[in-house]
């Protein structure tokens, strides 16, 4: 990996981290049930990943900026695992199961939505 790739990853990850912290600190939605802030970030991250996959970039610098840099720091897989662990420790197994299914299914649906929108409107 060359020095320019490191700078690009740092740039992308900085913006990804800032956006993740902003969303986690400022958004909480209730639509019949609570949606965790980290879930919102995961859904948005999956949507953006779907968009990027559908755009099929061939420029390596853009891939490094968005995939490794921005989305790598923006997505919250470790926070998701920590939430599952906390539910496990509290013996809230049903909530753990629902939260796991919620994040996996909705993340996949948001990925597909992003992918579908690009495929539908640009190709």
Return the number of other C-beta atoms located less than 10 Å from residue 2's C-beta: 7
Q: Which alpha helices (DSSP H) does the chain contain, by range?
A: 3-26, 37-55, 60-63, 72-74, 77-89, 93-122
Map out the domains of the chain as residue ranges: 3-26+36-122
At residue 34, the 3 state secondary structure works out as strand
Task: Please name which of 9, 101, 117 lies closest in space to residue 53, comparing C-alpha atoms.
Answer: 117
Per-residue pLDDT, 25:
80
Per-residue pLDDT, 29:
60
The pLDDT of residue 35 is above 70? no
Which pLDDT band, with edges at 50, 70 and 90, does 40 fall under? confident
């Amino acid at each position: 990996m060359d020095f320019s790739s490191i700078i690009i990853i740092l740039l992308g990850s900085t913006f990804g981290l800032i956006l993740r912290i902003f969303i986690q600190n400022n958004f909480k939605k209730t639509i019949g049930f609570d949606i965790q802030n980290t879930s919102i970030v995961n859904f948005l991250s999956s949507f953006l990943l779907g968009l990027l996959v559908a755009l099929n970039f061939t420029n390596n610098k853009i891939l490094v900026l968005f995939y490794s840099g921005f989305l790598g720091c923006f997505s919250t897989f470790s926070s998701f695992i920590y939430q599952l662990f906390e539910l496990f420790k509290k013996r809230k197994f049903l909530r753990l199961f629902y939260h796991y299914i919620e994040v996996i299914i909705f993340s996949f649906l948001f990925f597909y939505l992003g992918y579908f929108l690009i495929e539908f409107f640009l190709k």
